[in-house]
Amino acid sequence: MTETTLIAAAPRTGVAVRVRPRGEGFELWFEYICCAAATMLLVTLGGLLVSLLIGGLPAFTKFGFSFFVTSNWDPVQGVFGIAALMLDTVLVAVLALLMAVPIAFGVAFFLVELCPPLLRRPIGTAVELLAGIPSIVFGMWGLFVFGPLFAQYIESPLMNAAPPGSIWDTLTSGVPNGTGILSASIIVAMMVLPFIAATLRELLLTVPAQVRESAYGLGATTGEVVMKVTLPYVRRGAIGAVMLGLGRALGETMAVTFIIGNSHNFPKSLFDAGATIASTIANEFAEATSPMHTAALLASGFILFVITFAVLAMARMMLGQAREG
Amino acid sequence: MAVSAARVAARRVSNGAFVVFCYLVTAIALLFLAAVLWTLISKGVGGFSADTFTMDTPPAGSRGGLRNAITGSIMLCGLAMLIALVFGILAGTWLAEYAGNSRYGSAVRFINDMLLSAPSILIGLFVWYLLVANIIGHFSGIAGSVALALLAVPVIARTTEDVLRLQPTSLRESGIALGTPFWTVVRKILWRSAGSGILTGVLLAFARISGETAPLLFTALSNQFQSFDMGHEIASLPVVMFNDALSAYDDLQRLAWAAALLVSAAVLGVTIFARFMSRERKST
């Protein structure tokens, strides 16, 4: 459009006059608008932090240090402590990671080294679809399908087989009803494994072909190439991928809400009911009974934000260094 | 040094174990997907009837469907995508074309990555505090849409930046050489050549928000009746699933499974379509 204006304008005037291209005056404005949109991201994160802090301030000031070290969560009495919630949040996420990491690494190795080329795309897409299934569907599946099976075939046999008085017995005490901390962490493991697998796969694909091929050329087996050459090559990034998964697991809400059983006490065993920060907010926020209840939930949200932000920031730094190095 | 037979055997066995492990865990991951999909289909199809699309969500024990939740979800996601498109593409453009390696640019990039993985329920709390508690003063569809938009913007911004960076510099230079203002180069050349890539990001963002429940619970809330008023409470499929699945009534749970099938089919369909689009882009 602008080119035609230039050509059309020149012969009419007879002399070479620089015709300002149409829309030139808007040049700077466009940059400012784009910059404002980018700044909006910054404002969102800042606003998130500030609003949770201000909203949670009444709870912080009223309960002080005991907010973090007691587990008394009583909306009727107006007493709140999030020690058990924080413990459950971390416990579920760490247990989930323990299960998800070996599986995710195996899937990534399979896709990069072992998979027949014809199947690479379908299987890669299938793993991505697992990541796409909404959290709440995992929750419903966990509660209505997985839970009963888990109770019947895993929880009950484990409880019956436990020698009385042993650590095993303590860990598997409680009611084998298919909900609880272990069930929740298994579902969360299913949800984070595609994220870890996809990130690790991208990383493994950045390993130069010569590096892999020279290892194979020296007679290394597939297992040796992966464990001793390609995985060490991307180790920083691999740690970052795991941390990214941890960040997701910490904030996982709906699936956990369905299956964790919602109890605010300290868990006594792996089968015991619990509640994470996110599941408590999902369950109680819309029906909070008092302003202090709302404040306590906002304050626990602030704590969750601080924990996940720290984990995600660390993940990002490690992935970023892997990308540059 | 002679090759020890025992050493060769040991390496062969450990490699065999590694390969078997990789096959096994991939099978487990695929089994998870198959199990969830099978449940969705076997439980979801039974919940469908003509009423599903023509009647509103019922109280327990009476006839009903999902009409209000379907229209509510479409409106919430539609408005959210509209907001997210504008902000996401502009922010991505700034990051790719104007930010360069500046310190502010890397800060925004870092923040965007944080928002990409931030727990969605915290976004919901933020929007509740900002819009529901302070600016608007009550639950509303607009608040729900804003919460969903905040989840979609980082996805769109990220893909837009990535795709724009892939465009060759010669494309920008040829535009500028013709005397075109740079912002016209961006709009008429770069956005067009990056179009399918940006569309992929938009589709993935849509897939992400259409199944989101947590941020809607205390922004859009829910509504038993058909409503087109975004200024007040509005029903959505995920929230109906949450409420009905946890109810003690068979008929409501059936309806929740039907809604789950509907939402999952939409999300997975869009994801596959987006993958297909990005494959087309790579092959050309």
Task: Give chain A positions within 8 Å (CB) of B94.
Answer: 31, 34-35, 37-38
> How many residues belong to chain A?
325
Structure-block tokens of residue A184: 């929740």
What average pLDDT does the structure give for chain A?
88
Q: Which of A51, A114, A135 sits opposite B129 (nearest CB)?
A: A51
B213 touches chain A (CB under 8 A): yes
A250 touches chain B (CB under 8 A): yes
Chain A CA closest to residue B117: A248
Task: Give chain A positions within 8 Å (CB) of B279.
Answer: 121
Q: Poorest-confidence range of A81-85, A255-259, B45-49, B113-117?
A: B45-49
Taking the C-alpha atoms of residue B149 and residue B155, their distance in angstroms, rounded to an integer, is 10
Strand intervals (E) in chain A: none
Chain A CA closest to residue B85: A37
* Interface touch A26/B181, C-beta < 8 Å: yes
What is the crossing angle of helices B5-45 and B250-283, to 10°?
130
Q: What letter represents residue A171's amino acid? A: L
CB A252 within 8 A of CB A88: no
Tens of pLDDT, residues A145-171: 999 999 999 888 888 888 887 888 888
What average pLDDT does the structure give for chain B?
91
Taking the C-alpha atoms of residue A284 and residue A293, their distance in angstroms, rounded to an integer, is 9
With a CB cutoff of 8 Å and minimum separation 6, the contacts of B157 are A38, A41, B87, B88, B89, B91, B92, B95, B112
Instruction: Report the alpha-carbon angle A103-A107-A110, nearest 5.
Output: 135
In this predicted structure, the answer to whether residue A5 has a pLDDT above a threshold of 70 is no
Residue of B203, B202, B213, B204 whose CA lies nearest to B119: B213
Structure-block tokens of residue A203: 């990383």
Q: How far is B50 from chain A (nearest CA, A)?
A: 23
Which one is predicted more confidently, A5 or A172?
A172
Q: How many CB atoms lie within 10 A of CB B206?
A: 24
pLDDT band at A260 (very low <50, low <70, confident <90, very high): very high
Chain B CA closest to residue A305: B122
Chain B CA closest to residue A317: B110
Phi, psi for A74 (deg, rounded to 5): -130, 95
Residue of A248, A106, A126 whose CA lies nearest to A191: A248
Integer Rg of chain B from CA: 24
With a CB cutoff of 8 Å and minimum separation 6, the contacts of A181 are A88, A91, A92, A95, A260, A267, A270, A271, A272, A273, A274
Structure-block tokens of residue B45: 């199809």
Taking the C-alpha atoms of residue A70 and residue B221, their distance in angstroms, rounded to an integer, is 31
pLDDT band at A178 (very low <50, low <70, confident <90, very high): confident
Tell me how many residue pairs between chain A and chain B have CB atoms under 8 A apart.
276
Question: What is the mean pLDDT of the segment spanning B153-164?
Answer: 94
Q: How many CB atoms lie within 10 A of CB B98?
A: 17
Taking the C-alpha atoms of residue A264 and residue A293, their distance in angstroms, rounded to an integer, is 14
* Interface touch B260/A301, C-beta < 8 Å: no
ipTM score: 0.91
Q: What letter represents residue B265's amino acid? A: A
Taking the C-alpha atoms of residue A183 and residue A155, their distance in angstroms, rounded to an integer, is 10
* Interface touch A40/B153, C-beta < 8 Å: yes
Q: Which of B43, B121, B178 sits opposite A282 (nearest CB)?
A: B121
Taking the C-alpha atoms of residue A229 and residue A233, their distance in angstroms, rounded to an integer, is 6
Q: Which domains does chain A have, with CATH numbers?
A: 45-324 (1.10.3720.10)
Taking the C-alpha atoms of residue A187 and residue A190, their distance in angstroms, rounded to an integer, is 5
Taking the C-alpha atoms of residue A97 and residue A141, their distance in angstroms, rounded to an integer, is 20
**C-alpha dihedral sign at A45, A46, A49, A55:** negative
Distances (CA, A) of A251 to B126, B129, B173: 15, 19, 44
Distances (CA, A) of B144 to B53, B80, B112: 23, 8, 21
pLDDT at A197: 94
* Interface touch B25/A40, C-beta < 8 Å: no
What percent of chain B stands above pLDDT 70? 97
Yes or no: domain B51-283 corresponds to CATH 1.10.3720.10: yes
In this predicted structure, the answer to whether residue B284 has a pLDDT above a threshold of 50 is no
pLDDT band at A270 (very low <50, low <70, confident <90, very high): confident
Q: Which of B107, B120, B217 sits opposite A285 (nearest CB)?
A: B217
Residue of B60, B225, B228 whose CA lies nearest to B142: B228
With a CB cutoff of 8 Å and minimum separation 6, the contacts of B95 are A38, B105, B108, B109, B112, B157, B160, B161
Which one is predicted more confidently, B282 or B121?
B121
Question: What is the mean pLDDT of the segment spanning A5-21?
Answer: 59
Taking the C-alpha atoms of residue B157 and residue B84, their distance in angstroms, rounded to an integer, is 9
Q: What letter represents residue B218's amino acid? A: F
* Interface touch A223/B17, C-beta < 8 Å: yes
**Helix %, strand %, coil % of chain A (to 5):** 75, 0, 20
A32 touches chain B (CB under 8 A): no
Question: What is the mean pLDDT of the segment spanning B50-79?
Answer: 90
pLDDT at B281: 58
* Interface touch B117/A248, C-beta < 8 Å: yes
Question: What is the mean pLDDT of the segment spanning B254-269?
Answer: 94
Chain B residues 135-194 with CB within 8 Å of chain A: 150, 153-154, 157, 178-184, 186, 188
Chain A residues 295-314 with CB within 8 Å of chain B: 297-298, 301, 304-305, 308-309, 312-313
pLDDT at A72: 87
pLDDT at A14: 55
Tens of pLDDT, residues B79-109: 999 999 999 999 999 999 999 889 999 999 9
Phi-psi region of A160 (alpha: psi -120 to 50; beta: other; left: phi over 0): alpha
Question: What is the mean pLDDT of the segment spanning A190-202?
Answer: 93
In this predicted structure, the answer to whether residue B1 has a pLDDT above a threshold of 70 is no
* Interface touch B246/A247, C-beta < 8 Å: no
Q: What is the DSSP letter of A74?
A: B
**C-alpha dihedral sign at A133, A134, A136, A137:** negative
Tens of pLDDT, residues A23-81: 788 889 999 999 999 999 999 999 999 999 999 999 999 998 899 988 888 888 888 99
* Interface touch B114/A6, C-beta < 8 Å: no
A75 touches chain B (CB under 8 A): no
Residue of B122, B91, B120 whose CA lies nearest to B108: B91
B206 touches chain A (CB under 8 A): no
* Burial (Cβ within 10 Å: 0-12, 13-18, ≥19) of residue B155: buried
Chain B residues 18-37 with CB within 8 Å of chain A: 18-19, 21-26, 28-30, 32-33, 35-36
* Interface touch B26/A141, C-beta < 8 Å: no
Token look-up 């007493």 returns A79
Q: How far is A24 from chain B (nearest CA, A)?
A: 6
pLDDT at A2: 47
